[in-house]
Structure formats: C-alpha cells, structure tokens
Amino acid sequence: MFELDLRSRAPIYEQLVDKIKELIINNVLKPDEQLPTVRVLASELTINPNTIQKAYRELEYRGYVYSVPGKGNFVRATVPDNNAARLQTLEREVLKNVSEMLYLGMSPHDITTLIQRSLSEDKGGKVHD
Amino acid sequence: MFELDLRSRAPIYEQLVDKIKELIINNVLKPDEQLPTVRVLASELTINPNTIQKAYRELEYRGYVYSVPGKGNFVRATVPDNNAARLQTLEREVLKNVSEMLYLGMSPHDITTLIQRSLSEDKGGKVHD
Amino acid sequence: MFELDLRSRAPIYEQLVDKIKELIINNVLKPDEQLPTVRVLASELTINPNTIQKAYRELEYRGYVYSVPGKGNFVRATVPDNNAARLQTLEREVLKNVSEMLYLGMSPHDITTLIQRSLSEDKGGKVHD
Amino acid sequence: MFELDLRSRAPIYEQLVDKIKELIINNVLKPDEQLPTVRVLASELTINPNTIQKAYRELEYRGYVYSVPGKGNFVRATVPDNNAARLQTLEREVLKNVSEMLYLGMSPHDITTLIQRSLSEDKGGKVHD
DNA sequence: GTGGTCTAGACCACG
DNA sequence: GTGGTCTAGACCACA
C-alpha cells in the first residue's frame, strides 16, 4: 500500500504522514474511513508499531485523522482549520519551485500547462465550510 | 546579507544552501562571482566556520558553485546537469502542493494567478546550453 | 437523553458519569428518582451494557447514586461526604483555569462576568446537612 | 523541581506537560529561557528520556515551547494563537466546576472571593499582540 | 552534548 | 483486539 524509502534522510514516520495525507487529499481515503490498525500496518511494512503510532499521532495533530482509543484511527471529515499559515507556506514553496524550474530551463508555457493539468485533475471530494 | 533563523528546526547549513541557491537562481549572485569566504561569512553571521564550509560543499555537490583551492568559491556559469531528475522532482512537488492548496480551499483561479505572477516576475539571467 | 461523542478520546463510561453527575447537580434528576435501567439505557444509546454498568458503579462510588439490588439505581438525596477534599481539588482546578484564561488574553472583567453569571444561574435543589 | 505521581491515572508525560505549562503561565519560566535538557530531567526524575521527549514535543504542539535540535528546548515568547477554542473549553470547565462547588455547599460569596483573589494574584509577564 | 528517530518488548484501559 | 503509555537501549545529525 505504501512505498517507504528506508534509506532516505526523511524519517520513516514523516514519509508515512506524507503518503497518508496525500491519500486523504486525493480522496482515496474517504472521510470516516478507518485507517489500517497500528499493528497491521506495522507488520505489513515490517516497521515498529511505535513508528506507525507516531505517524498517526502526527496526522491527528495536523487535523487529518482522529483516533478513537480501542477502536482505531479514522479520516477526519473536515478540512484542517489553520489554513492561512499553511497556505502561505505552500505558496512560498510553489513560488520557489517555479523559479527553480525556470532556472533549469523549463519553459513558462510548459509550467502553465503542468499547473492547469493538475487543477483540472483534482479529485476533490471534501466540502468546505 | 543573509537572514538565518537560529531557532528553526531546519539545520543552519541547509538554510544557507537554500538562501544562496535562491540568490543564484534570481541572478543576484552573477556567474563566476566570488562568494564570501568561509571566514568572513562565519564572522558576519557569527556562525561556526564548519557550518559555512558544509553549506558550500553541498552547493558544489549540487552544481551551483565551484571551488578554486586557495582562491575561494564561485558561482557556476552553467546550469546543473542532472536537470531531468531534478525537474521531475520539482514537478511532483508542485503538483502535490497544488493539490493541497485546493484541498485547503484555495480557488483554482487564485492558484493560476499566483503562478502567472511568479512566471512574469522571473529575473532570468542564465543562458542555457 | 444523553449525547455521547463516540469519537471522543474520553472513554464512554466517563462521558456518561459526567453527564449524569451534571443532571443531578442541576437538579434535573431529582433525589430518589430512578435512573434508567442498564438495559434500557444500553439499547437507547446502542452501547454495551457493561459500559453503562461501569458508569453507574462509578457514580455510586463517588456518592451520587445508590443501588438497590433487584430494583435499580437511584439518585442519592444527600451530598457526597468527602466534601473537603473534593472542594479543594475543584478550587485548585478553577484557579489553574483562571490563570490560563488570563494568560490567553481574557480580561479579568470578562472572567468575573462569567463567574457571576454562572452563580446566578444555579438551579440549586439540594439541602445540605 | 517537579513532583510526579507515578501511581496516578494521568500519564506521566501529561503530568509533565501540565506542570511546565503552569510554570510558563505563571512566568516562573521566562520567555526564551531554556528548559532542562531531556537527559538531565530524565535522570533527575528517574524517568525514561523518551517520556520527557514526548512531553516536550506535546508542549511544542500546544505552542508553549520551541525546540532547537542540538541546542535544547526553550520557552516560547508569544502566546498560543488558537485561543478561541481553548478559551471556550476553559469556560465550560469553569462553569461546571462552579456548579459542583455550589452543589457541595460552598457559598457564592466564598466562590467570588476565590476568583477575585486569583485574578489579583496573576503574575502576568506576557505581552499580548 | 543536544534533540530526534527507531526498535523491541511489555503492560494497561476500553469495549 | 484496539490504541496508549512506558522503558531500555541504540544510533544519527548538528554545531
């Protein structure tokens, strides 16, 4: 289900957070759907359960998941609320990346195409308040 | 010259790499221009010289800087050569960020505007092979 | 009758204890009034009877309820007896919370208003020994 | 420095979070002051370093502390920003506690006195935006 | 020396 | 069986 790079500099739990966040954003994991249990995912990925736990806890802090002790971890139905700060970070990130793509020789036209494609491909699925 | 956030989670040397790369990309630091010597920059930023050294080595490895032993470090005139791989990474990154911006409620129109603005602001400056 | 949050971190039996205690304190449940039987409440809330049982036992232990074997559970007419200790705990709790409200920027005036409002809203109903 | 109740139902790390938060709120720990290092506190309290780490991380999430890897953990100079939700929780808590204090026989006058005393005793020390 | 990550393995509360 | 907590002990990156 997930591909982890154990040799990467990025901590395992963060790679997990990233992957799962992506699945939620792209509506592959639906609202209130249960995530794999800590133990199951741990054995599937041959990773220590504590590491999975940490990833789930992190996702909870960031507002993508909620945990019901004794039941499991589930996808939160609502979008995180500290939008503003996060959006600003994302904007800065994108601008930096676009600069670098230009620098590396990618044409403005190709960049625009890239963005438009990603905008039309959006899988949506969440309702905003 | 540089503003470092000593309290940030990001390692200092990486902040340095990022800032300098940005200056090169935006053509503030011109091709073959000499970067501040390790000593000077270290004393200006009141930072351990080893940290500066590490940042310069990293920039050299990534193809943004070349080092002339006994002389100093200079901006490379040509664009890094592992373009394809890096560009692919950047594209994936941008797509992911755009998805998240949509998920967080930013409108496609605002995203397009953001990108177009950044495309027209490009400072250019490098000649591609 | 009760609104439980099955997704909450707080154990269900504790939520139950809290709700019922509140109803007793606010004199909604009158002295010697019978509480819903375990079975009834369990089916109403679609919750495991053991969980209800545990909540009732807890309420009995804390002095808010008495159990008549074969009859059911009833609201105790008299106030719990370990007043002093409990009151001290409550006082410490309130002081801590007031400190935090001040720290978070709530004005002393608003805090006073909050308290006075709650004092005048008291539903009373119990006679003290 | 801290008194922990190892037999309490409350997890050790949460007790720690509570104590430290209190010290920060009461301005005993000043802004930008360094907290005891993970290892030192762990050996002082004869508790596993991971547990301290978890407490510090939790404090960071809640906005009371920042961590500089390789340097240590420090008191944040600014007040947490998700005030509204937290304040609402605190208000509800206080109302509930006041109700219970009345129920247990504490007089409205004594309650008012308690609050006023705590309001005038505020050690302040933080500047709000 | 500092925080951060990870593992292995144990125990507990809840339902 | 589930998540949550805790310990012991190891290793790494950073400055």
- Using a 10 angstrom Cβ sphere, with 0-12 exposed, 13-18 middle and 19 or more buried, the burial of residue A113 is exposed
Measured CA to CA in angstroms, residue D52 lies from C34, C88, D36, D39, D56 at distances of 47, 29, 10, 8, 6
Give distance CA A3 / C1' E10 (Å). Answer: 30
Q: Do A100 and B25 touch (CB under 8 A)?
A: yes
pLDDT at A116 over 80: yes
Q: How far apart are CA D61 and CA A62, in angstroms?
A: 10
Contact B50, B88 (CB under 8 A): no
Q: How far apart are CA C12 and CA C56, in angstroms?
A: 12
Give the confidence band of D124 by pLDDT, cuts at 50, 70, 90.
low
Q: How far apart are CA A59 and CA D61, in angstroms?
A: 12
pLDDT, residue D34, reads 97
Q: Do chains A and B touch (3 or more CB pairs under 8 A)?
A: yes
Report chain C's mean pLDDT, rounded to a whole number: 91
Q: How far apart are CA B27 and CA B15, in angstroms?
A: 18
Instruction: Give residue-wise pLDDT tens across range C58-105.
Output: 999 999 999 999 999 999 998 877 789 899 999 999 999 999 999 999
Q: Do B104 and A80 touch (CB under 8 A)?
A: yes
pLDDT, residue B122, reads 62
Question: Which residue in the block uniquely carries the two structure tokens 């308690």?
Answer: D114
pLDDT, residue B129, reads 47
What does the pLDDT average to over D8-37? 96
Ramachandran assignment for C29, one of left (phi > 0), alpha (psi -120 to 50 degrees), beta (any other):
beta
Contact B118, A106 (CB under 8 A): no
Subunit partners of chain A (3 or more CB pairs within 8 A):
B, C
Q: How far apart are CA B55 and CA B61, in angstroms?
A: 10
Question: Which residue in the block uniquely carries the two structure tokens 């004594």?
Answer: D110
Angle in degrees, 0-180, between the axes of helices C12-25 and D83-103, rounded to the nearest 10: 50
**CA-nearest residue of chain B to D66?**
B7
**To the nearest 5 percent, what fractions of chain A are helix, strand and coil?**
55, 5, 40
Instruction: Give residue-wise pLDDT tens across range A20-52.
Output: 999 999 999 999 999 999 999 999 999 999 999
Task: Tell me the β-bridge partners of C34.
Answer: C74
Report chain A's mean pLDDT, rounded to a whole number: 91
For chain A, give every domain's residue range.
12-75, 83-120
**Minimum-distance nucleotide, CA of D42 to C1':** F7
Give the confidence band of B1 by pLDDT, cuts at 50, 70, 90.
low
> Residue A21: its chain B contacts at CB < 8 A?
100
CATH entry, B12-75, from 3.40.50.1380, 1.10.3470.10, 1.10.10.10, 1.10.10.60 = 1.10.10.10
Give the confidence band of A14 by pLDDT, cuts at 50, 70, 90.
very high
Which residues of the protein have their beta carbon within 7 Å of strand E? A 11-14, 47-51, 54, 69-70; B 9; C 11-14, 48, 50-51, 54; D 35, 37-40, 50, 53, 56-57, 67-73
- Tokens representing B103 are 């998920």
| Nearest residue: Cα versus C1' of E13 | A70
What does the pLDDT average to over D32-44? 97
Measured CA to CA in angstroms, residue A61 lies from A19, A56, A66, D60 at distances of 16, 9, 9, 11
Q: What is the maximum span of chain A, computed from C-alpha positions, in angstroms?
A: 53
Give the confidence band of A66 by pLDDT, cuts at 50, 70, 90.
very high
Instruction: Give residue-wise pLDDT tens across range D62-93.
Output: 999 999 999 999 999 988 777 888 999 999 99
Instruction: Report how far apart the first and last C-alpha atoms of chain A are (Å, whole number).
Output: 31
H or E segment to which residue A21 belongs: helix A12-25
pLDDT at A99 over 90: yes
pLDDT at A129 over 60: no
**CA-nearest residue of chain C to D100?**
C25
What does the pLDDT average to over B60-77? 94
Instruction: Give residue-wise pLDDT tens across range B92-118.
Output: 999 999 999 999 999 999 999 999 988
Query: Which nucleotides in chain E lie closer than 7 A to a protein CB?
Result: 1-10, 13-15
Per DSSP, the residues of D32-94 read TPBPPPHHHHHHHTT--HHHHHHHHHHHHHTTSEEEETTTEEEE-SS--S-HHHHHHHHHHHH
- Tokens representing B96 are 């992911």
Contact A123, A27 (CB under 8 A): yes
Percent of chain C with pLDDT over 70: 93
Query: Which nucleotides in chain F lie closer than 7 A to a protein CB?
Result: 1-10, 13-15
pLDDT, residue C78, reads 80
pLDDT, residue C122, reads 62
Q: How far apart are CA A106 and CA A19, in angstroms?
A: 27
Contact C24, C36 (CB under 8 A): no
Instruction: Give residue-wise pLDDT tens across range B28-67.
Output: 999 999 999 999 999 999 999 999 999 999 999 999 999 9
Q: Do B9 and D67 touch (CB under 8 A)?
A: yes
Q: How far apart are CA D95 and CA D88, in angstroms?
A: 11
pLDDT at D16 over 90: yes
Our CA-based measurement puts residue A10 at a distance from the nearest CA of chain B, in whole angstroms, of 13
